[in-house]
Structure 1
């Protein structure tokens, strides 16, 4: 049977075991979130025999350096594992503020120790001690002198429970910066742009929206935010302010009770429309199905999902 080696420890595992499960079951605390190769919270450095199910999820330089996503690896032989150490491998960041945008959404603003080059729509893994969680950036690098994140604290969670206690001056660590499907392309400038989000899936699209407006997007922009109830539309006021100052921007605030009827009324004005979707998988799937039925070509829909843990 293959053996895993972590520091001075070593133990046997079954061939084909998932590396993340084998480590966590043995008490080696490797954080994770999506288990789909998207969030990158489970980065580990490996030497040995593993079968990587998503070899393209990391850059060639990272793979050359031995990094792997534990959730995507099966153990096929003996493996030496070194977990991501936020103190050694991450970057420091100071909490500037932690305030509530709604009863369940915490806005966290951080000042990184050194400059971070990013674009609207990307996400970072945040570390509080040994607890890690990926969050989308809601800030815009050209406009905001901080990193902003919108944390959904409606349900208990290891990181969100810790985040509730954060105060200005507290220290966190930053993991890997990642980019998903969401971004703004200047070549889209004249095309209709739809941004559809559920919950805090609005965070990266808030950045994408402001980037589109910063680049003077000429096409119509339609923002749809789906929330549990009217009180959960946590960016309603700033969205209304943007809509009041940009004639090409419309904002629609939907609740869960209105979803079926609102989706049934969804119509495309132009087949040149581009749609960016973000949020819970069920919401993204519901948006996607309706857009496809309405005639949106599949290659004109970009989506990131906030996958539930476990």
Structure 2
């Protein structure tokens, strides 16, 4: 049986054991969210030995060369020494600049990092609370224009990080972990093409940044943004979206709640087969969007999606 070493301890584990489960069952308390290799909350550094990695492409070459791995995607097959991600040592310090409610369930969090963070619209960051809870959140801010890092937290249901976030005050300290780039981005080569942005709930957060990026780059094609919410009060960016639409004749905004979705999806019609669609939200909503777009004639390779996986 291979020996696993972490936190000054060592213990035997069955060959092929999941690294995340092996660490947590021994009390090492490695955070995780999706268990799918997407959120990067379970980042650990292998300082001796190497696990079997089911998703090597999830980390860039430099991180992998330095020994970093996603514990949820690794199996222990030989003796292995692991250093846990320490937000105080490995994270970027940040402080709360503003914390306010955009709707009854959506908390807007604005942070100021201790040093500039290079990112692009559509990426997400792992946030670490002072108590050591980590969760990934999409950036809603626009680099180069917003002087803060902005996140929209869905606090409709209880959750360890959301419960801690409800108590945050201006000036409180947080730590920033792994910066991650998902499928969502804006390509200047799309300037003349129709651009559709379809969001459910706080899936609007990254699309808010990407919409403003497209407008900043003077996107020439028509832009259609559809936001699905559970009820009208949850269209938490309705006013700024309508303000943008008034300023930009090529932008059309649709705000829908649950009961209106089937009819709206049935009415989707492509204006061009060159359309690019960016989709974001929980799995069921994103799949519903993607299926309807495909049936309307939009190939899957012209649909870029970022799915908010529930906490595993």
TM class by shorter-chain length?
over 0.9
Distance 1:269 1:207 in 2: 24
Quote the offset at 1:82 in angstroms: 0.7
| Match for residue 284 of structure 1 among 280, 283, 286 | 286
What does residue 7 of structure 1 align with? 7
Conserved? CA contact 2:194–2:223, under 8 Å: yes
Distance 1:18 1:239 in 2: 44
Instruction: Please show how residues 136-215 of structure 1 align to structure 2 within 5 Å.
Output: 136-215=138-217
Conserved? CA contact 2:280–2:305, under 8 Å: yes
Kindly provide the CA deviation profile for residues 69-121 of structure 1, in whole angstroms up to 9, marking residues without a partner as x: 00100111111111100010011001001000001000000000000111100
1:32 pairs with 2:32: yes
SS in structure 2 at match of 1:173? strand
Q: Under a length normalisation based on structure 1, what TM-score does the superposition of the two structures give?
A: 0.99
SS in structure 1 at match of 2:81? strand
What does residue 77 of structure 2 align with? 76
SS in structure 1 at match of 2:30? coil
SS in structure 2 at match of 1:178? strand
Distance 2:226 2:35 in 1: 28
Unaligned residue ranges in structure 1 (runs of 5+) = none
SS in structure 1 at match of 2:259? helix
After alignment, is 45-54 or 242-251 more displaced? 45-54
Quote the offset at 1:295 in angstroms: 0.5
What does residue 237 of structure 1 align with? 239
1:19 pairs with 2:22: no
Kindly provide the CA deviation profile for residues 15-63 of structure 1, in whole angstroms up to 9, marking residues without a partner as x: 1111111111111111111111111111001122411001111111111
After alignment, is 200-209 or 259-268 more displaced? 259-268
Distance 1:49 1:277 in 2: 36
Q: Under a length normalisation based on structure 2, what TM-score does the superposition of the two structures give?
A: 0.98
Conserved? CA contact 2:127–2:137, under 8 Å: yes
What does residue 310 of structure 2 align with? 308
Distance 1:185 1:196 in 2: 17
SS in structure 2 at match of 1:77? coil
Quote the offset at 1:297 in angstroms: 1.4
Conserved? CA contact 2:7–2:84, under 8 Å: no
What does residue 97 of structure 1 align with? 98
After alignment, is 46-55 or 177-186 more displaced? 46-55
Unaligned residue ranges in structure 2 (runs of 5+) = none
1:67 pairs with 2:61: no
1:42 pairs with 2:42: yes
Distance 1:2 1:170 in 2: 42
Distance 1:94 1:8 in 2: 31
Distance 2:14 2:179 in 1: 33
Distance 2:283 2:59 in 1: 23
Distance 1:202 1:276 in 2: 11
Kindly provide the CA deviation profile for residues 249-289 of structure 1, in whole angstroms up to 9, marking residues without a partner as x: 00111111111121111111110000000000000000000
Instruction: Please show how residues 219-234 of structure 1 align to structure 2 within 5 Å.
Output: 219-234=221-236
Distance 1:287 1:190 in 2: 23
Quote the offset at 1:7 in angstroms: 2.6
